[in-house]
Chains A and B, each alone.
Chain A
Amino acid sequence: MEPEQKMIPIYIIGEKVLVPEGSTIINALEYAGFQLKKGIGCREGFCGACATVYRLPGDFKLIGGLACQTVVQSGMYLAQIPFTPAQKAVYNIEDLKPDVSSFTKFYPEVFRCVSCNTCTKICPQEIEVMDYVNSIIRGDIALAADQSFDCIMCGLCTIRCPSEMAQYNIAMLARRLFGRYLTKRSDHMFARIKEMEEGKFDKDMKEIMGLPLEELKKKYVERDLNFDIT
C-alpha cells in the first residue's frame, strides 16, 4: 500500500489551499487548479520565467525563488512575478569598446550601486550579483562575465535593487563584450572556415553523398574513432 500523501497549507495570492508536501511551487499551483499562462517556462531552472516571491509564517522577510525549483513549505505566502519591465539598452555590438565606457554610455545607473547586497541575497542561482556589478564598475569585464555566467535573467535582483538598475541586462552586455572582444580567437576554427571557402571538402562531400546505401553503411561502420584533437 502506498503511504498516504501528507497535505500542507499554502497561500496563493492570499488564498489558502492544501497541496501535497514535497511539491514544487509550480506543481502546487497546478494541483490547486491554476493553469499557468504566464510565469512559467522550462520547468527545469534554465529560463527564469517563474520568478516568485514568498514569505514564511512568523517572518517579515520576502524571499525569492524559482517556482519550478522551490519546494513548498507549510504556511508559505506566495505570488508570481511573470515579467520585469526593466530597461534594456539598444546598441550595435559591432561598434563597442569592451571596457567601462560602454557601461557609462548605456547603463550609467550601474554606478549608483550602494553595495547593499540585496541582489545577491535574492538570487535563486546563488550568483554573487553585487560582486559582478562591482567588477563592471572597476572595468573588469572578463571577471563580470564569468561571475554572472549562470544568470538566467529572472529579474528578481532588479525588482529588489534600491539603486534601480537592471543587473541582469547589464550583465548580458558584459558577457557579450567578453565573448566578442576579450577571448582569444580559435586558430583552428578560422583555418577550417578558410579551408571550406577554398573548397577543400567539396570533392569528398560530393563523393560521399553519391555513395549507394550499402557502401555508405560500410564506410560508416569502418570509420575510425579518434578523440585526439590535433
Chain B
Amino acid sequence: MYPEYMMESLKLVEKTRPKRIDLAKLGKPIVKPMSLDERGQVLDKFHPDYKSNARKPLRIGPNKGESLTSKVVDILESHSRINPDDIDLSKIDYDVDILIVGGGGAGAMAAIWAQKHGAKVLISTKLRLGDANSMMSQGGMQAAVNPHDSPVIHYLDIIGGGHFDNKPELVYAATMDAPMITAYLEELGVMWDKEEDGTLGTKAGGGTSRRRMVSCRDYTGADIMRTLRDEVKNHLDDITVLEYTPTIELILDDKGQVAGALLYQTETEEYVLVRAKTTIITTGGFGRLHMQGFATTNHYGATADGLVIAYRAGANLLYMDSVQYHPTGAVFPEQILGFLITEKVRGLGGQPVNKFGELFVFPLEPRDIEASAFIRECTERDNGIKTPAGRVGIWLDSPIIDILNGPGTIKKALPAMVRQYHRFDIDISKYPMLVFPTLHYENGGIEINNKCETKLPNLYAAGETTGGLHGRNRLMGNSVLDYNVFGRRAGINAAERAKKVSLGKLHLDHVRNYEKEIKDAGIETKRISPILLPDYRNFEVIRKHRKEFDPFLGGGVTGFYEEK
C-alpha cells in the first residue's frame, strides 16, 4: 500500500477526478495534443537522448564517425570473445540451410515460415526458446482492420511518430502485411480480444489516429509468443533448437558471404560450429545496457548481441543514436522498479496527473513526447511525487477506467497489471499507479530492406535488432507487428535464397580485422562483446580476494565492473 504522505496527494487526484471524467466523456482529446514545434521543444529540453553525454562518436567499423548512444559505442568498441587462431573451422557440428540467431518472436516466426518453404533450420538462443521481450509486450499489435481505418493512415501515423526518419519500404511492408498477419496468428490459435459478433476489440495507442490495437487482454505478447513456440515445437524434425547456446561470432567464407556462426554453450563453455547457407539475426534489443542508469522494462537477455556480431562482420546500422523510454514504468513499490505499465492503461482512458491531480499532457502523445512531458513535470515544474527511495513519478489514474468503461473493465482487460500490484497490496481499480519513464526499446538497429536482407550476402535480420521501420521513435503496438511481419519475411526470403547458395572456405578474418581497427584507433579497453547476459552480482562478493578483472558474462559493459 502507499505510505501516508502519498495518500494526501491521492486525495487531490480523487478531487479532480469528476471533472476529468466529464472531459473524457466529451469524446474529444482531453488536453490539446502538441504541435510539431511544441514536440520539438519538449524533446530537445527533456528527452534523455538529447543530454550532452547521451551520445559519443564511434571510431571503428562501417558507421565510423557517427555519433551513437554511448553504451552502444561501448559494446561496439569491444574485443571479440574469441581469438580466431584458437578456433578450428574444419570441424562442423551442424550443417543447416538456415541459422537463426535468437529465439524470440521474430526468430520463431522466421523458423516456422522457413520450414514451410522447405528449409532445415537451427535456432541458437542464450536462454530458452521464447525467453524474449516478445513474451513481455502487453498492450497489443497495430493492424488497420477497422472500416474507418486503412493501411495508408497507419503508414502516416508511423512515419509522423518516427519524426519522418522511417525507411518507407519497411513502413509499407508492415502496414500492408498487418491485417494478413492478424488473420494468420488467429489461424495458429492466438486468442484475440473480440466483441460478441467476432469483431476484433481495438484500442487507440499513443500517436495513433484510429483505434487500431488488437490485443489479448494485457498478455498480448505472451499469448503470441507461447503460440509461436508451441508451433515451432510441432516441427522439431526440421527445426533444431539449441537453448542456453548463444551465438558469439558470425563466420564468413572466401566468397565474402556470411556462412554460419560460432556458438557457445554457457554451462559447459564449449564452442559449437554451425555452417549455414543463410543466417537470420533476431536477437532483439538492448535495454539491459541501462543507458544513463535508467531502469528497464526489458528481458534479462536484452543485450544487443546480434547487433555486435553483425557489425563486426560489416553490416550497417541505422539510427543507433535513438533510445525509446516508455512513459509509464513503475517507480513504486521499489521491487517493481522500471516494470512496464502497459500503454493500454491510457488506451482505455487512464490519465496521467501530477501531485495536485492536474492533467498536464495529452495522454496519448507518441512515446518520446509523452515521456519527455513526464520528465518536465517531475524536474523543471517539480510537480512529481517523491518515493521513500528518493525517486520521483507522476500518477497514472487507473480507477477512472472502470468509471468510464464500466466496473470490472480493469480486471478483465488488465489482469497482468492487477496481479503485479496486488502482490504489493495495491488495488489499481481503486488507486492510481506511480510512474516514470523507463528504458524500453531499441528504435534503430541493423539496416535491412523489405526482404530483410542486410548489406552482407546471405545475412538477414528481423525484429527489434533492425532499424528503419520506426524511424527515431516507435509507436505502441508496432513492435509486435514488426517481429511478426519481418520474422515471416526473413524466414521466407532466407529459405528461398538458401536453395541457391554454394558456400566456400570458412574464415574469421573479419574478427582479426576488427581487432586491428580497435588497435589502430587507439582504443584501449578490456571490454568484450557480445555481452550475452548482464552482471548484477554484488560488487563486494566478486571483488573478494580478486585482483584481476574477469569480464565473463556482462563483458565489462553492464553491472558493477563499469570502466570509468
Contact = CB atoms under 8 A, between A and B. Distances in A.
Interface of A: 22-24, 27, 30-38, 40-47, 49, 69, 71, 83, 88, 90-94, 125-126, 145, 149-150, 152-153, 172, 175-180, 183-193, 196, 201, 204-205, 208-209, 213, 216-217, 219-221, 223-230
Contacts of B199: 186-188, 229
Given A90-B234, A220-B159, A149 B145 contact: no
Contact of A44 (B151, B160, B340): B340
Interface residues of B, number: 93
A46 B416 contact: yes
Interface of B: 27, 29, 33, 35-36, 127-128, 130-131, 133, 135-136, 143-148, 150-153, 155-157, 159-160, 164, 168, 172, 176, 179-180, 182-183, 186-192, 194, 196-200, 202, 204, 209-211, 216-217, 219, 221-223, 226-227, 230-231, 233-234, 236, 244, 266-267, 297, 299-301, 334-336, 339-340, 415-416, 419-420, 423, 533, 535-538, 541-542, 552-554
Nearest to B210: A226
Contacts of B151: 196, 201, 205
Contacts of B267: 37-38
A93 B211 contact: no
Secondary structure of the A side of the interface? loop
Given A30-B536, A186-B194, A71 B164 contact: no
Contacts of B133: 42
Given A180-B188, A196-B179, A223-B209, A42 B136 contact: yes
When A and B form their complex, which 10 residue pairs have the shortest distance between CB atoms, in order from nearest? A176-B189, A184-B198, A33-B541, A220-B160, A179-B189, A179-B191, A30-B536, A41-B131, A180-B189, A189-B145
Contact of B36 (A45, A189, A221): A221
B183 A189 contact: yes
B536 to A, nearest CB: 4
Nearest to A153: B226
A180 B226 CA distance: 15
B188 A93 contact: yes
B135 A46 contact: yes
Contact of A224 (B35, B209, B335): B209
B223 to A, nearest CB: 8
A203 B483 CA distance: 27
A191 B131 CA distance: 35
A105 to B, nearest CB: 14
A184 to B, nearest CB: 3
Given A189-B145, A209-B168, A150 B219 contact: yes
Given A46-B219, A93-B189, A189-B145, A38 B244 contact: yes
B191 A149 contact: yes
Best-surrounded residue of A45, A47, A126, A219 (most CB of chain B within 10 A): A47
Contact of A187 (B130, B198, B416, B423): B198
